[in-house]
Amino acid sequence: MEETLVLIKPDGVKRQICGEILTRYERKGLIIKAMKLLQTPKELAEEHYAEHKDKPFFGELVDFITSGPVLAFVLAGKNAVTSVRTINGATNPVDATSGSIRGDYALTMDSNVVHASDSVDSAAREIHLWFPEYK
Ligand code: CMP
C-alpha cells in the first residue's frame, strides 16, 4: 500500500469542486486516510515548496497557497503516487489531457486546482509536514 499527499488548493475550495475532485480519487479505488481543511501558515507553505525556493515564482506560489483554505488529505492504494498524478493531469493545465482534473478544471499553471506528491519519498516528507499527528 502506497500513500500520497493531496491538496485541493484555494482555487478549488473557492469554486466548490472538492466533492467532484474527491469522487474521482474514490472512484479509482483510493482510500482517504486523513483529511483536514486549513488556512495554511506561511511557514508550512514555504517548507512545502522548499524545492522551489530559488525559482522566480516562489513568492507567488506561497502567496497563492496561503490565499484561502486548502483541503489536505492522505490517499492510500497500490501505486497511489502515480495514480493520483495521472488523475490530476500535467502540472501546466495547457498540457493536461481532457478527463484529468487539471484538463477539466484549470487554465493556468498558477491556479491548477490540486497538488500531489511527485514520488514516494516526497509523499513521506509531505505527509509528515501536513499531518504530523498521522501514524
Ligand atoms: P504544484 O503541484 O503545487 O507544485 C509546484 C507548483 O508550482 C505547481 O503545482 C505549479 O502551480 C507551480 N509552478 C510550477 N512551475 C511554474 C512556473 N514556471 N510558473 C509558475 N508556477 C509554476
Q: For 22-53, what is each residue's pLDDT tens digit?
A: 999 999 999 999 999 999 999 999 999 999 99
Q: Which of 55, 64, 95, 119 has most ligand 1 atoms within 8 Å of its beta carbon, as the pocket-test mutant?
A: 55
What are the helix and strand counts (H, E) for the chain? Answer: 7, 4
Protein residue whose Cα sits closest to atom 16 of ligand 1? 109
pLDDT band at 135 (very low <50, low <70, confident <90, very high): confident
For ligand 1, the distance from its centroid to the CA atom of residue 28, given in whole angstroms, is 25
Q: Which residues are catalytic?
A: 115
User: Residue 71: enclosing H or E segment and its boundaries?
Assistant: strand 70-77
Q: Three cell numbers at 90?
A: 500535467
pTM: 0.96
Percent of the chain past pLDDT 70, that is, above it, reads 100
**Mean pLDDT over the full length of the chain:** 98
Q: Which of 57, 62, 111, 125 has most ligand 1 atoms within 8 Å of its beta carbon, as the pocket-test mutant?
A: 57
pLDDT of residue 120: 98
